Amino acid sequence: MKLPWMSRADRRRWKSARTVADLGELMALWLEGEIASRPGYQPRFGPDEETEHLVASLAALCRAGYITTCSQPGSAGTGANGLWWEQRAAVELVVSNDPALLRRLLAAARAAGMLVRVNDHRRGGVQDEPVIVTTCDGEPITGFGGRISRADMAIQWPELNRDLYRRVAHGVYVSIVAPEYGTAGERLWVLLDQLTGLRLAPDPEDDPWADEPLWSTHGALEVEHGECTLCGAPIHHRGPYCNTACEEADADHDAERTDRDRC
């Protein structure tokens, strides 16, 4: 039986962290199973089974200065309830007091066509809207990004030294989401592994994604049924769209198609 509280030894380890690097190392050790509990998570439990294959990638991010707080793989299939579930590969992380690290992360993610949400808790800062990452039979279930309240922050980071908590609580939280639902979105982890140096960037002829146009360029391709006209994202239901511009672009395309049918 697992006790419903963090051990004293683990509590001391988290309390002893003084820097973001200390925190990143402890988070990596928890991911790798070397520490039984982490702040803000069910005591004496490790990462979910679905993220086991992501442990090396997540630990490398933590050690590189990007402290991961939540993640999920890209998948699609029938769930235990018999309904169709789809997930986008996604990760939420905090970058604290290092503008260079933040710029590098955002530049790499945006260049690869990822969906990026930024929540800057320094003096109010930028607060982006969340993006849907999980659907059930086309209905939105969960999202990544969006404003984190002060109360949520306290729940997410208990057991930390006061000064370190202040740095983390006032850091920049970034959500990076693959635009594709399903396993195609697992390319997110390839991108992040290259960012942290866990894997080398392949030569173009060896890159499985080299022949794929960036998601942001799909709007220039011939629109197929079930795709967003503006960004090319798959649409399996009435909404939600990526943003208002996508919805308006898709509505315009439908209107043009109706006019052609009348002719």
DSSP 8-state assignment for residue 237: S
pLDDT number for residue 124: 67
Q: Is residue 235 predicted with pLDDT exceeding 60?
A: no
Q: How many domains does the chain have?
A: 2
**What is the span of the domain harbouring residue 248?**
213-263
C-alpha 142/C-alpha 136 separation (Å) is: 10
* 236 or 96, greater pLDDT: 96
- Residue 220 is predicted with a pLDDT of 40
Q: Is 194 exposed, middle or buried (0-12, 13-18, 19+ CB in 10 A)?
A: middle
Q: Read off the pLDDT of each residue in 80-89 and give the average, rounded to a whole number.
A: 96
Query: Burial code of 37-54, b = ≥16 C-beta within 10 A, e = fewer?
Result: bbbeeebeebbeeebeeb
* Contact between residue 54 and residue 189 where contact means Cβ atoms under 8 Å apart: yes
Answer yes or no: do 117 and 34 share one domain: yes
pLDDT value for 154 = 86
**Residue 30, φ and ψ in degrees, nearest 5:** -65, -45
* pLDDT for res 110: 96
More confident residue, 146 or 234: 146
Yes or no: say if 61 and 91 are a contact pair by the CB < 8 Å rule.
Answer: yes
Instruction: For residue range 31-60, list pLDDT tens digits in order.
Output: 999 999 999 999 999 999 999 999 999 999
Mean pLDDT, the chain, as a whole number? Answer: 83
**Helices 8-16 + 20-31 axis angle, to 10:** 150
- My answer on whether 22 and 132 are in the same domain is yes
Ramachandran assignment for 70, one of left (phi > 0), alpha (psi -120 to 50 degrees), beta (any other)? beta
Q: What is the pLDDT of residues 243-252, one digit of tens each?
A: 555 566 556 5
Q: Are 186 and 212 in contact (CB under 8 A)?
A: no
Task: Tell me what pLDDT residue 224 has.
Answer: 46
- On whether both 133 and 251 belong to a single domain, the answer is no
The whole-number average pLDDT for the span 177-193 is 97
| pLDDT attached to residue 156 | 87
Count of C-beta atoms within a 10 Å radius of residue 188: 27
Contact of 232 with 226, CB cutoff 8 Å = no
What was the pLDDT predicted at 146?
83
Same domain, yes or no, for 173 and 78? yes
Could you report the per-residue pLDDT of 105-160, keeping only the tens digit for each? 999 999 999 999 999 877 667 888 899 999 999 999 999 998 888 788 888 899 89
> CB–CB of 228/239 below 8 Å?
no
Domain identity same for 79 and 193: yes
Q: Note whether 249 and 153 are same-domain residues.
A: no
pLDDT at 214: 46
pLDDT for 223 beyond 60: no
User: For position 191, what pLDDT does the model report?
Assistant: 97
Distance between CA atoms of 35 and 212, rounded to whole angstroms? 40
Residue 217 and residue 151 share a domain: no
Helix, strand or coil for residue 145?
coil
**167 and 60 co-located in one domain:** yes
Residue 112 shares a structural domain with residue 218: no
The answer to whether position 14 is within a domain reads yes
Residue 2 lies in a domain: no
Per-residue confidence (pLDDT) for residue 230, from 0 to 100: 46
Share of the chain above pLDDT 70, in %: 75
Residues 161 and 176 placed together within one structural domain of the fold? yes
The highest-confidence range among 65-74, 114-123, 254-263, by mean pLDDT, is 65-74
1 within domain boundaries: no
Gap between the terminal Cα atoms of the chain: 71
Q: Does 147 lie in the same domain as 42?
A: yes
Same domain, yes or no: 220 and 181: no
The amino acid at 148: I
Look at residue 3 and tell me if it is in a domain.
no
